[in-house]
Amino acid sequence: MKKIIIFASGTKEVGGSGFQELVENSRTGVLDAPIIAVVSNFEKGGIQKRAQNLGVPFEHMPAPWSAEQYQAIIRKHQAEWVALSGWLKLAKGLDPQKTINIHPGPLPQFGGKGMYGHHVHQAVIEAYKNSEVKSSAVSMHFVTEKYDKGPIFFQYPVAIRENNTPETLAERVNKIEHGWQSFITNLVVHEKIKWDGKNPESLIVPSWYPFI
């Protein structure tokens, strides 16, 4: 089985809807791989509560978020794949061929350190007002040790409406994330989408694939 561990920060109060979507879809077959654990940098909070409700093993990962910490958790759960879903810390020491992330905006323009969640949506709205972009997007990419720099293998446009705020845009982006994350993750863990971990031009996707 293609065992997946999820890293999802959430907050002290809420978060983890993407994690829950992956778990539920792994149990219905949309994602043909088990979610064996979830990790958060908050010991108590949205992720821990969802993990408890879903019956998924939970791991708290405090600072300094070192390569050794990541690797120890991967070994403990014998995970083959790592999915970052709302994880806000720099991933270190992980296999770039086996680690993926979902991002709530167009990459590479709205990626990098500090570009997460509300900050992404705010930046996209400002760029839209300045006629620099016409839409936002949900992006997925392989993960390297630089924020949002791995090969992008999924971008799905999300139209921006005149009355959108960062909050209302976030709601619409989130729905698209939930609609596609499990399906695309399934393609990756079954190696329909892959790369050599070094050269972005080595990226391979199915011949029918329209999302990049």
Name the residues annotated as catalytic: 103
Place of tokens 């050794």: 68
DSSP string, 83-119: EEES--SPP-S--TTSEEEEESS-TTTT-STT--HHH
Reported in sequence order, the residue ranges of the chain that DSSP labels E, i.e. its strands, are 4-7, 35-40, 58-60, 81-85, 99-103, 135-142, 152-159
Residues in the chain: 212
Q: Which residues contact 30 (CB under 8 A, 6 or more apart)?
A: 182, 183, 186
Tell me which DSSP letter residue 194 carries: B
Amino acid making up residue 114: G
Instruction: Report which of 114, 118, 115, 109 is spatially closest to residue 157, judged by C-alpha positions.
Output: 109
Instruction: Report which of 123, 143, 148 is spatially closest to residue 133, judged by C-alpha positions.
Output: 123
Residue 151 preceded by cis peptide, ω within 30: no
